Structure 1
Amino acid sequence: MKKASLLMIIGPLFLLGLYVFPLWNIMLGAPQYPDPLGLNIHINGLKGVNEFDIQNIDGLNHYIGMHTLPKPEDMWEFGTFPMIIGFMVALGVLIGLLGYLNKISYKWFLGWFVLMSVLGILGMYDFNEWLVDYGTNLDPNAIMKLTNPDGTPMTYKPPLLGHVKMLNFDVTSMPSTGGWLMFIGMMLTLTAGFMGWQKTKKQ
C-alpha cells in the first residue's frame, strides 16, 4: 500500500494552495465597465481582482442598498477556515504516513476524503447563505429601489456557481485556482483510498 499512502501524503498538501490562491471568483461585467469588476474570495478575506474593484463594487452597491463587502474581522469564517484547512492538511499527511508504515488501513484515507467533503459542503452552504443575505438584506433608504414585474423588491444575490444577469450586469461565479487545487488534492486522496481497497481485495 506504499503507492496509495504516498498519494495520501501528497493529496492534502494541495490544500496549502488555499493560503496563496483564491478559493472562488466572482466577476461583474457591464457595458460601462470594459474591464469587468472582479472579486476573489480567499479563505481569510476578500480581495479585488484589480486594485480598485472592491471600492467600485461597494460604490455600485451603495445605490441599491447592499452592504459593503465584509472585511476579515467582520466574518468569523475568515478566522476559522485557515485553521480548519491547516488541521485537515496535517491530519491527511499523518494518515498517509501511518498508512505507509502499515499502521492503518485504506479506510482512513476514505474517511479523510469523506470528512473533507462534508466540510466542503458545509462551507459552500455557509457561503451561499452569505450571498443570500448580501443580495436580499437591503437598506430600505437606498437611493434606488427597484422592483420585479410583480411588484416585489428586486434582489441581487450573486450565483453560487454559474452566470446570472442582474440589471445590466453579467455576473459569473466560478471556482478559482485555490478551489481547483483543493479539488485535485481531494481526488488524489480518493484515488489513494481506491488503490488501497484494490490492494486489500487482492490480498
Structure 2
Amino acid sequence: MKSASIIMIVGSALLLGLFIFPLWSISLEAPQYPSGIGMNIHLDGLQGKEKHDLQNIDGLNHYIGMRKLPKPEEMWEFSVFPKVVGGMALLGIFIGLLGLFKGISPNWFLTWLIIMCVLGILGMYDFNAWMVDYGTNLDPKAIMKMTDADGNPLSYKPPLFGTKHILNFVAHSYPHTGAYMMGFGMFLTFIAYIVGNKKRKTNQA
C-alpha cells in the first residue's frame, strides 16, 4: 500500500502544475500573420503568446462584432477554477498521506479520480459553451457582417479541440503543458488504485 500511496501523492501534486503552465492554447494563422498569433489559457486568465497578441485578436474581432477577450475579473471561472484545482490537489495529497500512514482503502483513490473526471467534463462543457457564445453572439452593428450560403450569420467559434478554418484564418486549439500534467497525474492516480487494490487482495489471500 505504501507504493500506491506515494503514486497517489505524486499524481495529485501534478495538478499544481496548472498554477504555473497554461491549460489550453488557441492559435490563429493567416497570410497577414505569417508567424501566427494566439493565446494561452491559464486557470486565472488569458495570456498572449507574444506581447501584443491579445490586443491584435481584439482588433480583429472588433471588425466582425465579437466581444473583447475577457479579463480575469470578468469571468467567474478565473476565480473559481484555481480554488477547485488547488482543493482537489490538496485533497488527493491528503488521501495519499492517509493511505501511507493509516492504510485506507484504495477505493478512496478511485473516488478522487472519478470526482476529477466529472469536474474535467464540466470544465470542458463550460469552456465550449463560452466559446459558442463568444463566437456567435455578435454585435449587429459590426463593420463586417459575414453570412453563409443561406444568409445566416457565420459562427466564429474556435474549435474545442483540433483545427478549423474561419474565413482566411486557420484556428488551432489544443491542450498545453498544464493539461498534460493534469492528465498524467490522473493516470497515476488510476495506477495507484490498481497497485493498491492488488496489494490489498494479496494481503487478504
Q: If the length of structure 1 is used for normalisation, what is the TM-score? A: 0.98
- State how far apart, in whole Å, the 1-side matches of 2:58 and 2:152 are: 24
Q: Separation in 2 of the partners of 1:123 and 1:142?
A: 31
Equivalent position amino acid for 1:130 in 2: W
**Matches of 2:182 and 2:40, distance apart in 1:** 16
1:52 aligns with 2:68: no
Read off the aligned partner of 2:19 and give its amino acid letter.
Y
Q: Which residue of 1 aligns with 2:19?
A: 19
- Structure 1 stretches of 4+ with a deviation exceeding 3 A read none
Residue 88 of structure 1: CA displacement?
0.5
SS state of the match for residue 97, structure 1? Answer: helix
CA apart distance, 1:150: 1.2
Partner of 2:155 in structure 1?
A: 155
Identity %: 59
Partners of 2:71 and 2:102 lie apart in 1 by 45
Counterpart CA distance in 2 for 1:201 and 1:124 is 36
Superimposed CA distance per residue, residues 112-163 of structure 1 (whole angstroms, 9 cap, x where no aligned partner): 1100111111000000000000000000000000000111111100000000
In structure 2, the partner of 1:135 is 135
Give 1:155-174 correspondences, 5 Å limit.
155-174=155-174
Between the aligned partners of 1:110 and 1:176, the Cα distance in structure 2 is 25
CA distance in 1, matches of 2:87, 2:165: 39
Q: Which runs of 5+ in 1 are unaligned?
A: none
CA displacement at 1:56 relative to structure 2: 0.2
Corresponding letter in the other structure for 1:185? G
Question: In structure 1, what is the equivalent of residue 91 of structure 2?
Answer: 91
Amino acid at match of 2:186: M
Partner of 1:124: 124
Q: How many residues align?
A: 203
**1:29 partner SS:** strand
**Aligned position for 2:36:** 36
Q: Distance in 2 between matches of 1:160 and 1:121?
A: 13
Three-state SS of the structure 1 residue aligned to 2:182 is helix
SS of the residue corresponding to residue 170 of structure 1 reads strand
